[in-house]
Amino acid sequence: MVKPSGYARRSVLRGAAGIAVAGALATACGSNTGRGSSGGDGPTIKQWYHQYGEAGVEQAVKRYAKAYPKADVQVQWTAGDYDTKLATSLLGKDGPDVFEQSVARVDQLKAKQLVDLTDVFGDAKDDFTPAVLDAQTVDGKIYGVPQAIDMQMLFYRKSWLEKAGVAVPTTLDELVAAAKKLTNKKVKGLFLGNDGGAGVLGAVPLWSIGQNYLTDDQKKVGFDAAGAAPVFATLRKLYTSGSLLLGAPADWSDPSAFTQGLTAMQWSGLWAVPVVQKALGSDFGVVAWPKGDAKGAPSVPIGAYGSTVNAKSGNVDAAKAYVKWLWIDKTDYQQDFDLSYGFHIPARKSIAAKADKLKSGAGADAVKLVQQYGKVQATPGWTATMNTAYTDALNNIIRKGSNPSAELKTAITKINKELTTLYK
């Protein structure tokens, strides 16, 4: 073979120098991420938010931070994969002092990442919606102050259902039948995401038959393979029926498939209401996931980001004081955050009562659904490993047609193994 020439060696060096320069630039960009610094005296508190889609939220949270008198609060607005970035930053010493997350996980507590915030609540505790408070509670201690509630529900096109002579489905069998009737050459009956609901539905099928991921104490598996198999078999039947929209350009969280008329019904979230309202006017309704059998109830998954303090922070007390100030005491800021920008339900009942746009139409229906059926999917004991085991089973059942009870048994074995390591 030909020996490398001088030219090749030179280009290698040039490449190396390029890498070195790029490295230096990357370092330069990496520093000083704190923006929106406040004028307050005292310690510096770094606060992280994930990227809210609605315009104005970023400016709003920076305005709140600036108004805090007792510390210099620097807000970081985190775009992209917030959960992964947060998890990585919590490993080291330079993570945020205050951050938001939707659930206080048992494995985070084992790693001593979270500060007990029970005492910052005071009398206000009863004002919070219990379900979202539970997601932040482990062994009676609360690790996060819920901010705003989001929820998922089923959207349907009123006029199309009327034309097809279909009633709003209240059981899973009715849903399957309705999807079939609403399907024609141009339109599919139902859209549950491009994976046929395997990803987004999560615990919903279990709730619809009165079961759950875990038992209430979070220490045992909360569903049984034989009992849960039929409802998953029905989801598989739905998937192969040809009445489910699959492979749409935008996934379930985006109402495009619904507003563009690709589907007559779609599973999506509260955040989609303004877009749908603009596109379809009042020609749509919202409803809970129908019950799976006589034992079950209609299901509505909810979730809320909660403000949390990092146990590795150098200023735990100052951070706690700030969280108390912003998310417990300053109800005017909370109301502004919850109601002025997107379409959320306030986590505090006293603020929810003041929300005018939640008093009529789809907004009012959504609030009613949350109050009647709202449940949190991700609970403190449900780890990523358990979720992978469960979602794998769902994918195999719904998309590959594997035997439901065998797949669920495999998932239960894996979840039990994780439970043993978690509580050994």
The span from the CA of 279 to the CA of 272, in Å, is 11
Per rule CB under 8 A, is residue 415 in the interface with other proteins?
no
The span from the CA of 202 to the CA of 377, in Å, is 7
Residue 390 contacts by C-beta under 8 Å, 6 or more apart in sequence? 202, 213, 411, 415
Here's the x/- map for other proteins, 186-225, by CB under 8 A: it reads as: x------xxxx-xxx-x-----------------------
Residue 103 contacts by C-beta under 8 Å, 6 or more apart in sequence? 135, 136, 303, 376, 378, 379, 380, 382
Per rule CB under 8 A, is residue 288 in the interface with other proteins?
no
The span from the CA of 193 to the CA of 62, in Å, is 34
Our CB check for other proteins shows the closer of 124 and 422 to be: 422
Of 10-18, 70-78, 148-156, 360-368, the window that binds other proteins (rule: CB under 8 A) is: 10-18
Per rule CB under 8 A, is residue 392 in the interface with other proteins?
yes
Of 332, 331, 311, 348, give the one whose Cα is nearest residue 98: 311
**Binding residue (CB under 8 A) for other proteins from 8, 56, 69, 91:** 91
Here's the x/- map for other proteins, 19-38, by CB under 8 A: it reads as: xx--x---------------
80: left (phi over 0), alpha (psi -120 to 50) or beta: left
Our CB check for other proteins shows the closer of 76 and 253 to be: 253
Binding to other proteins (CB under 8 A) within 239-268 occurs at: 245-249, 251, 253, 262
Of 43-51, 81-89, 206-214, 315-323, the window that binds other proteins (rule: CB under 8 A) is: 81-89
CA dist 225 → 72, 295, 393, 413, 421 (Å): 53, 16, 11, 11, 22
Q: Which residues bind other proteins (CB under 8 A)?
A: 1, 13, 16-17, 19-20, 23, 83-84, 87-88, 90-92, 107-108, 110-111, 113, 186, 193-196, 198-200, 202, 245-249, 251, 253, 262, 383-385, 387-388, 391-392, 395-396, 399-401
